[in-house]
Amino acid sequence: MATALITGASRGLGLALARALAERGWTLILDARGADALETARAELARQTQVVAIAGDVADAAHRAALAEAAQAQGGLDAVVNNASILGPSPQPNLLDYPLDVLENVYRANVIAPLGVLQAVRGSLKPGARIINVSSDAGVEAYPGWGGYGSSKAALEHLSAILAEENPDLKVYWVDPGDMRTQMQQAAFPGEDISDRPLPEESVPGFIELLTGERPQGRYQARALETILDAAEPGVNWLNLVLMVNDYAKAMNFMQEGLGLQIAEEWHEVGNGAMLEVGRATIEILDTQHVAEVDRVEVGKLKGDRVRLALGVGDLDFASERVQQAGAAAENVKVDTPWGHRNQRLAMPPDLPITALTLFQVMDEAEAVTP
């Protein structure tokens, strides 16, 4: 069974991650300064797994030695998550007003202590152990008023990057969890309503991926990792329609200038290719009778195209004028459909392998179901 040391696990992200690892049967070594909240967390987690909780301050070398002793007693560590951190004063002073003794304390907790924890437990790290140093976007972006905390996280990030280079036998990650609805976030925005911030649980899947997967060492944003994981779910998750054209420049001009599509990726090494963002993608399967009915509504007569591109737009008048300027030809005037859309059928410019184009604007969300 795997064992993790998580610092600062009595609330917030540390506790959310401890819960997720407890569910997976990991043995946990946890700390926090406040003994009561830590004991409450320990008692809850101990119903699921083995937990050692040691109250103390990560900035205190004697406390770190106690954590290291516990790590050894558990037979070594598969993961260390340096999560404990302090914001500093709330509200945060600008740098020129920042009391230096207070800044020293912030650095002690946020930079020196995480390294101190790793130095203390180094003899207990199993080969390939995961090290996660919890950082922040404030360690990368220069937000005014965030000079103390932000620069401490910047130092932690660089320290992590060098640790990664110096220890290829470990997996060192430095991770921005994103804004989270926690006590620290409330302290950073005193008196503000922070109910729009996601709960720390939403950042946890990214941490689990780093702790259990085989990601290369480096900096990660926890919630972006989760998005990648979602996309990696088995089953179809992406519609990409591939069109072969003879005149690449002309077709791209139509797509970009006519339809206003943005390029997601392009390739020019061998010939030319580009992938364009189209927003939501769906596939519609219609029998001949249903196609005839849509043709009747949109064009007033049977067209019977086997393949038709139907693109939702925000403003049909604007989009229609733009595609016609770029080479499309209207098949009919714009029509209000019985299914709550305003549609126009057009013919694509020659050379594109799909000739029929419908532009549609959703007028009535309640009615907006595919015909």
Ligand X SMILES: NC(=O)c1ccc[n+]([C@@H]2O[C@H](COP(=O)([O-])OP(=O)(O)OC[C@H]3O[C@@H](n4cnc5c(N)ncnc54)[C@H](OP(=O)(O)O)[C@@H]3O)[C@@H](O)[C@H]2O)c1
Per CB under 6 A, residues contacting ligand X are 7-14, 31-34, 37, 57-59, 83-86, 109, 134, 136, 177, 179-180, 182-185, 200
Residue 106 has, within 13 A of its CA and on its CB side, a CA count of 23
Write the DSSP symbol of residue 203.
Answer: G
Distances in Å between the Cα of 46 and the Cα atoms of 76, 237, 300, 356 are 19, 39, 70, 63
33 token code pair: 């300064």
Distance in angstroms (rounded) separating the CA atoms of residues 182 and 247: 55
At 84 the three-state DSSP class reads coil
Whether a cis peptide bond, with omega within 30° of 0, leads into 91 is yes
285 token code pair: 């399967």
Residue 365 has, within 13 A of its CA and on its CB side, a CA count of 1
12-23 and 35-45 helices, crossing angle to 10°: 20
Distance in angstroms (rounded) separating the CA atoms of residues 305 and 294: 11
Compute, in degrees rounded to 10, the torsion defined by CA atoms 39, 37, 62, 86. Answer: 160
CA-nearest of 139, 148, 24 to 94 is 148
Let me know: does 368 contact 361? Beta carbons within 8 Å.
no
Distance in angstroms (rounded) separating the CA atoms of residues 247 and 351: 7
Residue 260 has, within 13 A of its CA and on its CB side, a CA count of 15
Burial label for 233, CB within 10 Å (0-12, 13-18, 19+), is: exposed
Distance in angstroms (rounded) separating the CA atoms of residues 87 and 148: 8
Distance in angstroms (rounded) separating the CA atoms of residues 362 and 120: 61
